[in-house]
Amino acid sequence: LEAIRLGVDALGFSGHSPAGGCGDYALKDVQGYYECVSRLKDKYSDKINILLGIERDIYAYDDNHDYDFVIGAFHNLLIDGKFFHTDRSPEVLKEGIDELCGGDGEAFAIRYYDFVKDVARITGCDIIAHCDLVTKFNGDGENKFFDVRSEAYLAAAREAIEENIKYCKLFEINSGAMGRGWRKTPYPDSAILDIIHDAGGKVTFGADSHAKETLLLGFDQAEELAKKHGFGNLTRLEIK
């Protein structure tokens, strides 16, 4: 209803798939979600084009539903049977960095990208989500845990992006962390956008909105970033 009020002509739902390590932000009832959005799609078809999607983590459980689109994602490192979380809180991230990498945030980020490189291949996605999610609590330019301009960090990111582009060229510019107060700018970071552009990737915008109040948050900034980093076009999914 908020999207209709705002004059939005299309709205994509993308609930988190149930997946190992994803905990309380994953869907509890996938069938119920699928049926609910399908009903909304029919009910409001004369007012808005609703797309039924899913954000599929690399650890997602089997799901045979037919979605309009899939966002591929990675959130938590699985090392020796234990999950190390990138987006729970700064404290949880630091605990993981300390335990897994002896306090070396850059080493943790590099290991993060070792998993990111498999997102598109494993999930079969149409869009790659927040590919530098590990920066969520890094201080938005303050480099609290690692330097986002270091050669080793950017090399790991480049390798992951180039591997994903073999399977999916479309990356989202995601403003979700802005809506939750953790960043003032969208993902990905500027240097990562340069890598995506140079590797032949494309971009779309996603609010990753968990509340109607942030439905279009950050889209103006996303557009500015896309233009600044050489993207001449925005890719938009159309379901006929």
CB-based contact 139:87 (threshold 8 Å):
no
Reported pTM:
0.92
Calpha distance 173→197 (Å, rounded): 12
CB-based contact 188:173 (threshold 8 Å):
yes
Upper half-sphere CA count for residue 31 (Cβ side, 13 Å): 0
| pLDDT tens per residue across span 116-140 | 999 999 999 999 999 999 999 998 7
Ranges of H-type helices in 6-118? 30-43, 90-101, 105-116
Q: Across the 240 residues of the chain, what is the mean pLDDT of every consecutive 10-residue run?
A: 94 90 82 96 96 94 92 93 92 96 97 97 96 91 92 97 97 89 89 96 92 90 94 82
> Where does residue 33 fall: left (phi above 0), alpha (psi -120 to 50 degrees), or beta otherwise?
alpha
Structure tokens at 176: 């979700």
Predicted confidence at residue 193, as pLDDT, reads: 96
Predicted confidence at residue 75, as pLDDT, reads: 92
Predicted confidence at residue 183, as pLDDT, reads: 87
Predicted confidence at residue 26, as pLDDT, reads: 84
| pLDDT tens per residue across span 29-72 | 999 999 999 999 999 999 999 999 999 999 999 888 999 999 99
Predicted confidence at residue 21, as pLDDT, reads: 73
Calpha distance 144→30 (Å, rounded): 37
